[in-house]
Amino acid sequence: MNFSNLETPALVLEAPRMEANIARMHAQLRRLGLNLRPHVKTAKCAEVAALAVAGQSGAITVSTLAEAEFFAARGARDILYAVGLAPNKISHVLDLRRRGVDVSVITDNVEIVRAAAGKALPMLIEIDCDGHRSGVKADDPHLVDLGKAIETSGAELRGVMTHAGSSYNCRSVEAIRAMAEQERCAVVSAAGRLRAAGLACPVVSVGSTPTATYAERLDGVTEVRAGVFVFFDLVMAGISVCRTEDIALSVLTSVIGHQAEKGWTIVDAGWMALSRDRGTASQPLDQGYGLVCDADGKPLADLIVKEANQEHGVLAHRSGGRMPELPVGTLLRILPNHACATAAQYSEYQVVRGGREIEARWQRLPGR
Amino acid sequence: MNFSNLETPALVLEAPRMEANIARMHAQLRRLGLNLRPHVKTAKCAEVAALAVAGQSGAITVSTLAEAEFFAARGARDILYAVGLAPNKISHVLDLRRRGVDVSVITDNVEIVRAAAGKALPMLIEIDCDGHRSGVKADDPHLVDLGKAIETSGAELRGVMTHAGSSYNCRSVEAIRAMAEQERCAVVSAAGRLRAAGLACPVVSVGSTPTATYAERLDGVTEVRAGVFVFFDLVMAGISVCRTEDIALSVLTSVIGHQAEKGWTIVDAGWMALSRDRGTASQPLDQGYGLVCDADGKPLADLIVKEANQEHGVLAHRSGGRMPELPVGTLLRILPNHACATAAQYSEYQVVRGGREIEARWQRLPGR
């Protein structure tokens, strides 16, 4: 099997890059003395998750219960569902737990604690470390009340967790390091307040790929969650968390036409194939809907996907420069802005090792 | 079955709105004396397609060969694959044809004609009517050469087609009407040039939801393609092609928390549930990632999805005004910017008739 046996668009995974990305994160966490609980929402793939948990505790993080089911069916037994619980998901979580899967949940409010009363559900309190979305502030006067409400409701206070989503907007390694320390301080301080009130708080969980990559110390933290590091993407490259040549994911596409007078090459990868994510639009180097490479994965200088319709991509030179010759039928690879969003449309990875030979096809959980 | 039996997010289809939308398009095309070849890429659902082709020829339009397979397996026998053909899809199209499905393809270049030489493939020439993406201009000196190349290659010149994608950027009904006439003129003139050269050109195909809705005459056209009209969305409402109350598709979501001091309500529908599409961002009224309604589908004044992460949506008042009380667990419905993009993440529709009772679950082709 090689690229000539595929219909485009197809999702290509460069195994050596992924393996190096995972090895680098493992080395960083070994240095910090911490377990990795990888966020599997990026890959949604058993083979990738197996590499990410190798040498770790085997615990994973998910963003939906569909992911929890997918990985439970493939052997996962310690799963953190890291989106604030909704009442209509409680019975599903309990059902997974009855099947022997230790699913823990998160919340930042007492209403959900009441809705789950008497259910012996392990709960982590979500801490807001950066004003980015959900969570209780570490110094919120209600934090200890919430911890006590969990204990008295019959649930289990498993610990505290936070996610420094704002690290995606940092513009320097120094800023990411400062954000990692801010993330650490928030949960460690929240855990301290809960423990001072006589509550058990065994888990102190942090994580985002940027902060996990550059954190210098994580004293008081017990585990790190990170997801996109397995593949990386242009947004991560744009904030110096990886190099372009570390990006393991790309979309294989075919040239289907040209509009010569405009300098356009049309390909069969539009926003369904690439996603609508324009995460680099707010970065110094806007990569459009993705950076264009040849079929072997080598970037073509300053060629980007300028526009995308549902199944059409329009390639053009970043600043109107000369386009290379790309006859109809030419195979190209597009590096994505955001690996999680791009991978979401596919049900399998075409796994390669630096060439066009497909060494394996790995199933992934498609869609929602 | 009703909303209380669902896990959120879920994709809700208001059947009466969809039926009215389809009836309106059928009435418009009856008035114009034309057959509808609905574009099924929006719904990717056999039940919706059956309603859209009722009283028509049964022909459909698809944007991928996965859609062609899905609908062929459900009885479709006349399918236009309306994205420029890539060489690696030729054998798949021929395989579908051998199975008795009349799949026709489109192209705008002679390279693909050569790649398919001797294959008896029905081809339409794609005409560029608005400089929007692919296609040969109607007055291009190479148009007749391309038509002759198709005939001499052993393929069948089935006709010409165009798509006035620029109609999505029109800002008035008058502008859409003018675009519809521009779309019509382009293909009718191209067909005339081909026929004058002695080539058969039986099919003259146009279509976009805005131009199909407002076209006043389509003389010389033989069929109309349109897709998003079955559901409509906020982008269509923003250019007066429908009213907000015609939008048949919404995402059911649960409140999972609040950040009171910021006026934020957090829900479990992020960009995976809603899509990253920000099509209203360039319209006079920016709807964020979607317009918030109560569980019965009634819009909550000026409440929109301001921000979206992968599985989190942040609801806020459009201009910082007061938020209604929305306790944790409250069910809400979000109207989408772009129905095609939002529906893409789901594998089924929850079909309702104006309330919270689910009368049916309709399967859809998820992902790519």
Q: Which chain B residues have a beta carbon less than 8 Å from that of A112?
A: 256, 328-329
Task: Compare all CA atoms of chain B with the CA of A92 and give the residue at the minimum distance.
Answer: B7
* Chain-chain contact of A133 with B8 (C-beta, under 8 angstroms): no
Stretches where chain B sits below pLDDT 70 are none
Q: How far is B173 from chain A (nearest CA, A)?
A: 23
pLDDT at A291 over 90: yes
Question: Under a CB-based contact definition with an 8 Å cutoff, are residues A233 and A338 in contact?
Answer: yes
Q: How far is B102 from chain A (nearest CA, A)?
A: 20
Q: Is the dihedral of CA A151, A155, A159, A163 positive or negative?
A: negative
Give contacts of B 178-237 with A, CB under 8 A.
none
268-297 in A: which are within 8 Å (CB) of B? Answer: 268, 271-273, 275-278
Rounded Cα gap, residues A43 and A363, in angstroms: 10
Q: In whole angstroms, what is the distance from residue B249 CA to residue B142 CA?
A: 43
Distance CA B54, CA B52 (A): 6
Distance from CA of B261 to the nearest CA of A (A): 11
User: Under a CB-based contact definition with an 8 Å cutoff, are residues B14 and B353 in contact?
Assistant: yes
- Residue B201: the pLDDT is 97
Task: Lay out the sheet containing A156-161: strands in order across.
Answer: A35-36, A223-224, A203-206, A156-161, A122-126, A102-107, A78-81, A60-62
Q: Mean of the pLDDT values across residues A159-172?
A: 96
Contacts of B344 in chain A (CB under 8 A): 272, 345, 367
Tokens of B214: 């407002």
B 123-152 residues inside an 8 A Cβ radius of A: 128, 131, 133-134
* C-alpha Rg value of chain A to the nearest Å: 22
Q: Give yes or no for B311 touching A (CB within 8 A).
A: yes
* Model confidence pLDDT, tens digit, residues B264-315: 999 999 999 999 999 999 999 999 999 999 999 999 989 999 999 999 999 9
Residues in A 2-21 with any Cβ partner in B closer than 8 A: 4, 6-9
- The ipTM, to two decimals, is 0.97
Q: Is the pLDDT of residue A64 over 80?
A: yes
Give the residue from A132, A133, A163 with the most B CB atoms within 10 Å of its CB, the best one to mutate.
A133
Paired tokens of B310? 């992968």
How far is the C-alpha of A169 from the C-alpha of A175, rounded, in Å?
A: 9
Q: With contacts defined as CB-CB under 8 Å, which chain B residues touch A366? A: 366-368
Q: Which residue in B108, B255, B367 is closest to A257 by CB distance?
A: B108
Question: Residue B164 burial by CB count (10 A; 0-12/13-18/19+): exposed, middle or buried?
Answer: buried
pLDDT of residue A301: 86
The pLDDT value given to residue A366: 83
pLDDT > 80? residue A252:
yes
Cβ-nearest to A84 among B257, B327, B366: B257
Are residues A8 and B86, on separate chains, in Cβ contact within 8 Å?
A: yes
Tell whether the model's pLDDT for residue A202 goes beyond 90: yes
Contact A34, A11 (CB under 8 A): no
State whether A271 and B341 contact (CB < 8 Å): yes
Tokens of B6: 């669902």
Per the DSSP assignment, residues forming a β-bridge with B360 are B351
Q: Please report the pLDDT score of residue B367 as a whole number.
A: 75
Question: Is B276 close to A272, i.e. CB distance below 8 A?
Answer: no
Confidence of residue A253 (pLDDT cuts 50, 70, 90): very high
The interaxial angle of helices A46-53 and A15-32, nearest 10 deg, is 30
User: Are the CB atoms for A10 and A367 separated by under 8 Å?
Assistant: no
Positive or negative torsion for Cα B78, B84, B89, B91: positive
**A130 Cα to chain B: minimum distance (Å):** 12
Helix (H) or strand (E) holding B210: helix B209-214
pLDDT of residue A367: 75
CA distance A237 to chain B (A): 19
Residue A153's nearest CA partner among A197, A114, A190, A179 is A114
Check if B266 contacts A (Cβ < 8 Å): yes
What is the rounded distance in angstroms from the CA atom of residue B85 to the CA atom of residue B80?
Answer: 11
Structure tokens at A196: 């001072």
The radius of gyration of chain B from alpha carbons, rounded to an integer in Å, stands at: 22
Which helix (H) or strand (E) covers residue A71, if one does?
helix A65-72
d(CA A66, CA A72): 10
| CA of B308 vs chain A CAs: smallest distance (Å) | 9
The SS3 of residue A300 is strand
Q: Does B328 touch chain A (CB under 8 A)?
A: yes
- Please, is A94 exposed, middle or buried when counting C-beta atoms within 10 Å of its C-beta (0-12, 13-18, 19+)? middle
Q: Which of 95-114 (B) contact A at CB < 8 A?
A: 107-109, 111-112
Taking CB atoms and an 8 Å cut-off, how many pairs form between chains A and B? Answer: 182
Distance from CA of A346 to the nearest CA of B (A): 6
The per-residue pLDDT for B300 is 96
Do the chains contact at B84 and A268, CB–CB below 8 Å? yes
* Per-residue confidence (pLDDT) for residue A134, from 0 to 100: 97
For chain A positions 28-87, those within 8 Å of chain B (CB to CB) are 41, 63-65, 83-87
Q: How far is CA B32 from CA A275, A296, B35, B51, B222, in A?
A: 37, 51, 9, 20, 10
Residues of chain A neighbouring B255 (CB-CB closer than 8 A): 86
Taking CA atoms, what residue in A is nearest to B64?
Answer: A311
Confidence at residue A293, expressed as pLDDT on a 0 to 100 scale: 98
Q: Cβ of A41 and B310 within 8 Å?
A: yes
Interface membership of A367 toward B (CB under 8 Å): yes
Residues B7, A88: C-beta atoms closer than 8 Å: yes
From the list A83, A92, A255, the residue facing B7 with the nearest CB is A92
Q: Among A99, A112, A105, which residue's Cα sits nearest to residue A79?
A: A105
Instruction: Judge: B329–A128 Cβ closer than 8 Å, yes or no.
Output: no
What is the distance between the alpha carbons of residues B121 and B107, in angstroms, rounded to a whole number? 12
The rounded distance, in Å, linking the Cα atoms of A108 and A93 is 17
Residues contacting B151, CB < 8 A, separation 6+ = B157, B199
Mean pLDDT, rounded, of chain A: 97
User: Rounded to a whole number, what is the distance in Å from the CA of A331 to chain B's nearest CA?
Assistant: 10
* CA distance, residue B225 to nearest chain A CA (Å): 15
